[in-house]
Structures are given as C-alpha cells and as structure tokens.
A and B are shown apart, each in its own frame.
Chain A
Amino acid sequence: MIAALLSLTILGLTLGLMLGIAGKLLAVEADSGIAALEALLPGTNCGQCGFPGCSGAATAIAEGRSSPACCPPGGKAVAQALAEKMGVSLDLSSVADAGPKLARVAEDLCIGCCRCLKTCPTDAIVGASKQIHNVLKEACTGCEACASHCPTEAIQIVPTPVTLPHWVMPRPLPA
C-alpha cells in the first residue's frame, strides 16, 4: 500500500510540476480584445457613437462604458457581432436599424462647394469646385457625416434602393 501511495504521490507531484512549468513557459498574453472589437466596427470613424472614432468606441465597449449597440451605421448586424464577442446578450429590438442607407445629392440644390467630399470618411463623394457632386453607391456607408456640412441641404440620407440581384424573399409569416 505504501508503494502505491508513494508512486501516486510522486506521479502527481511530477505531473503537477510539469503543468506548472508549462503554464508559465507557454502562457498566452492576455488579449485585451479591443483590437478584435475594433475589427468588427465599420472602421469609417464617423463619430456617430460619440466616441473618437472606431477605436474609441471599441475601447468604450470593452470597458463597459458603452453598449454594443452604439454604432448606428453598423445596425443590428454589427451590434450582434459585438455582443457575441463580448459574451453578453443584447436585446436587438432596441437597436434602431432601418436597413442600409445611402447619401444622395439633389442635383438642383448642389452648388459644388466641395465641403461634403472633404468630410466623407470613405471618399464616396466625387466632384470638383462649382461642379455637381455625386455619391458612389458602392462606397457610401450612409454614416451621415456629410449631411450636416451641406450649406444648401442638398444631401439626403435615403434607404438603399432594393434591386433585382439584392432582393431577398420575405420570410413566411408564422402560423
């Protein structure tokens, strides 16, 4: 019996020691997760969340100062991805998401002042001085950064129009 006790004790101690050493040697540096959260955000630094850019928002979410639902251009999809990353449950019904939006320039109002295109975080507005500006649909995130800079209120934020290749069959109504 003593032999059994002894051998098991020695075995336990050796294995424990090895585990301890391995734990120290192969330790993974704790990832703050802020970078991972920032990767989920749109990255346009539009500032609608009230924090200085997307990295600021990521820090605030990681520190619990802000809800994962703070990003208006990201909508429900981004809010859900952030909540999953943070491991918190989120009531998505509170997230205002009217679907993707686009900026549109009313051509009869645009005076070609170039103010909007300087504020666009994704260079989605093209134009030149005293020329009517236009929005590149593929690049616009609908972040609304340009709308407030227009002196003639020529920029409207409209829902992205549904086109044939982008149409999704509606979900059947439950019984």
Chain B
Amino acid sequence: MGLMEKFFGLSWGIHPEDHKRPAADAVTRVMPTPERLYISLAQHLGAPALPTVLVGQKVKKGDRLANPQGPVSAALHAPASGLVVAIGEIPAPHPSGLPVLAVTLESDGLDAWADDLEGCDAPFDLEPDEISRRVAAAGVVGMGGATFPSALKLSSSRKAGIRTLIMNGGECEPYLSCDDRLMRDKADVIVDGIRLMLHATGAQAALVGIEDNKPEAIAAMRLAAAPYGEVSVRPLPARYPMGSEKQLILVLTGQETPAGRLPADVGVAVHNVGTAKAVSDAIRLGRPLVSRLLTINGGAVGRPGNLLAPVGALVEDVIAFAGGLKEPPARLIMGGPMMGLSLPHARVPVIKGTSGILAFSAAETNDRAQEACIRCASCVRACPIGLLPLEMARHVEAGDLKGAVRIGLKDCIACGCCAYVCPAHIPLVQYFSHAKGALAAEDRAKLRAEAVKKLAQARSTRLAQEAREKAELAARRKAERAAAAKAARETAGTVEQSGTEPAAGSAST
C-alpha cells in the first residue's frame, strides 16, 4: 500500500448505497425443488461439460450428469432425483439470450440423495491431492461469480507454493447479501472448508476479509475461527470493489499484483467464502455442488431475502417462490448490480455462479441520456486499477482497440466504477466490455486463419505428392510395359529361333 493510502485512506473505488438490508436480515428460506430443472452444461469457466446420462435415464440427487471436458472444466450433478427428459438447447442466462446446451431433469419430488456418496470423517488424514480430486469430483467452482474450477485452483496453488490463502467475504456489490447470510448461518462449516483448503494447498495462514458493514458476519466468523490460530478474520473498510481479487490482496497483504500476473505470483490464492462451504460439503459429506445460497432483491421483488435454490431452477420459479413481483421489473439482473448480467427474460436457469437475482423498479434503474465527456476525470479517480477510462473509451469509440490496449485495457476488471461516477452518464465499462470481446474475437480469427493456412498448405503438398506419385507410377508402368514388350519380343524371338532349329535339324537329318 502506498504512503498516500496509509495516511489519507483508500483513494480508489466508490461507495454506493448498499441496499443490503432488510434482505440480509431476513431468515434464509429453502426453495423446494421445482418440477423441472435445467442444468446448463456451460456454467463454469472453460470448456462445457460432456453429458454422461441419456434421455429417459433415472437419476438420484447427486448423481453425475456430465463429465469435465479438458483441464479447465467442471463436472455437473443432478440437483434432484428424477428423470432426464431432454438434453438440448435452452436460453442461456446471458444478456444475448443465445442458446446453451442443458440437461433437463424432471423431479420425482422425493429429493433422494444417491447412495454412493463418498464422505470422509477424518479428512485431514487425506493426501492434499486427494482433497483436490474429491473437490473436482464434486464439481465445485468459485462461488463468487467467476466460476473458475476450484480443484484446479487448489492444485495449482500447491504447485506454485502459495503461503497465504485469502478468503473473500467482502461482498462489496450492493444489494447482495448471500455471503453475509452464509457466514452468519454456517460459519463453522466455512471455517472447516478453509482449513481443508489450507491442507490442500499447503498454505500456512488464511485471512478472511469481511467488509465492516457486516458486523454480525464478522462476529460469527470470529467465534468459529477462534480455536484455529491459522484462520484470522480481518474486517475491511466497506468500499466497492473491495471483493476484486487484486484489491483484496492489496488491502490485506499490502502486496500489489503486477499487471497481467496472477495472485499466485505474489504467493496468495483468493477463494470466496461460499467455495469453502462447498469444499467442506464435498469432503465431509461427499455431496456435490447442486444448490446454492442466492440473494433475491430489488424494488420490484415482493419479499426480498436469501434463499437456498437448486442449480437449474428457472429464475421465474425462484421469483415466484420468493413472493413474486410487485410490478413488472424495469431490469432483471443475474449477479450484482455493478458486474452482473442483465437477463433478457426470466425463463433462464440458476447456475453455480448465481449470487443474486435482482428485479429493479424503473426508479432504481435510473436510465439517463448520455452526454458529452466534460473531462472531469472522476472516472480516473474512481478506477481501482489506476487506468484512464475516459481515454480508453475514446480509443474504443474510434475503433482503435490497439490504442486502448496500449493504455491498459487488458488490466480493466470491468468493475463499473467509472460508469457509476460519470456525471455525463457515459457507459464507459460497456465500451470496455465490447472492446475485450472484440479483441478476443480478433485473436480467435487470427488463430483460425493460421490453422486454415496450415490446412491449405497441407492440401497443396498432398496434391503435389499425389501428382508426383501418379507420374512415378505412370513412368514405372511405362517402363514395365516396355520391359514386358521387350521380353515378349525376346521370347518370341527365341521361340522363333527354337521353332526354326528343329526344322533346321529336321532338314539336316
């Protein structure tokens, strides 16, 4: 942390009204399994999972539905017992509304767990790699929203030799309170999960960062962590985006992660507190990740609060269970209001990374017309990374993506602080999201062009070789034919000669 920050407090980020209460104080409700569940095959970072079940197959809760495909991928499990009725395309929980492959499960209403779940009473006797393996088998992904496969993070942390585990209980996004609620209700399970993760990674200490606007969660976690010296709870100043990986590392350890590098490069790994709970469930009970705590909030929601919903439940079912809508929502968001995805409609499923479902009233969305930039540099002050959002947006607006990358577009974490503070209501972060997508598309096109060029070259060499072989074959045939003709002529000659000889002989006799 710089000197300035030491003396004058944090200079980056914003302090939006958090709107977390009363939803955070409402008792957690458990959503019953709806009739149909839609389990998206692409609900984690990396390659989509490959289904292992067939249509018409009966499954129990916790049975494997799909296997991970490739190193960065995660397994999927049945969130309820029932019948697989379809494997096909459904609308994805994504602003584009494009289709995604999913397994459709019809619940039998029994919610019976599978019999072969492999729990463990003495998990600290297990090898660290065995913990990673079981976490992978349970399909655990980062519960903060990025949905990176947790087992991969654990095993790579071990290889990188990280010293400190940072647990993210910041939950800096306004409106969301699911991590807060989880820490209040399940602090002991979270601490158990943290200790398992310490065992799996070989790290010596875990720091649990919790924003100071959640005093109940801090108290509960302190109580649960008291017997274990290696787990310490650290209250953080409430500030958005405190839950961003690099910001959290900076505030808790004083180390700055260099641009384009990973937390492992400064000896730490960051996990969400929800992930710790999922890890504990996976190891102790052998239960895969099939449900999650999520916040339902916003001015249009009947009864805001936190609820435990099965993965694959439709957003509209979740809203109906949570007391329905008071008014048609002006905007529907999955995740937080700052970084979440706006949904085209409510007939999309909950995924492992769904931290919240927000239905905003028209007053809350506050759509305003964009005006010209007055170069006030509010966005520069707000940017937690220290970029120049106004300059980057200028470059992107002019279609100069390379120029935007030159001044740091790749380091942008898309937190949205710049767009939040902009007095001219310029959608700055939307420009950067567009630019990152366009750059990724350019990279893909480049890779494809190279692969296609190789194919074209392979074809021309193959055609040349075929032509050469044909010519050689023709030459050989010709030579053979010539040889055969010659041989035929010669045998004919000898036959003639041998034919004439007896005649000559007979003539002589």
Contact = CB atoms under 8 A, between A and B. Distances in A.
Contact of B449 (A42, A124, A163, A165): A42
A162 interface: yes
Nearest to B42: A164
B430 A42 contact: no
A54 to B, nearest CB: 9
Contacts of B397: 171, 174
A37 to B, nearest CB: 14
A98 interface: no
17 contacts: A42-B449, A42-B452, A43-B456, A77-B442, A122-B456, A139-B452, A139-B455, A162-B96, A163-B98, A164-B92, A164-B94, A164-B98, A170-B434, A172-B370, A172-B427, A175-B369, A175-B426
Given A138-B451, A175-B370, A175-B371, A168 B456 contact: no
A166 B99 CA distance: 12
A174 B95 CA distance: 20
Chain B interface helix/strand/loop/mixed = helix
A139 B455 CA distance: 8
Nearest to A168: B437
A175 B95 CA distance: 22
Given A42-B452, A139-B455, 16 more contacts: A42-B449, A43-B456, A43-B457, A44-B453, A44-B456, A45-B456, A77-B442, A122-B456, A123-B458, A124-B455, A164-B92, A165-B42, A168-B437, A169-B434, A172-B431, A174-B370
Contacts of B452: 42-44, 122, 139, 141
Contacts of A165: 42
B478 interface: no
B459 A123 contact: yes
A170 B433 CA distance: 9
A97 B216 CA distance: 58
Given A42-B452, A121-B456, A139-B455, A172 B42 contact: no
B459 A166 contact: no
A171 B396 contact: yes
Interface of B: 42, 92, 94-96, 98-100, 369-372, 396-397, 426-427, 430-431, 433-434, 437-438, 440-442, 444-445, 448-449, 451-453, 455-460
Interface of A: 42-45, 77, 100, 121-124, 138-139, 141, 162-172, 174-175
Contacts of B98: 162-164, 167
A171 B445 contact: no
A169 B430 contact: yes
A171 B431 contact: yes
Contacts of B444: 166
Contacts of A122: 452, 455-456, 459
A141 B456 CA distance: 11
Contact of B96 (A42, A43, A164, A174): A164
6 closest Cβ contacts across the A-B interface?
Answer: A168-B437, A43-B453, A175-B370, A122-B455, A172-B427, A171-B434
Contacts of B94: 164, 167
A171 B434 CA distance: 5
Given A141-B452, A174-B397, A164 B100 contact: yes
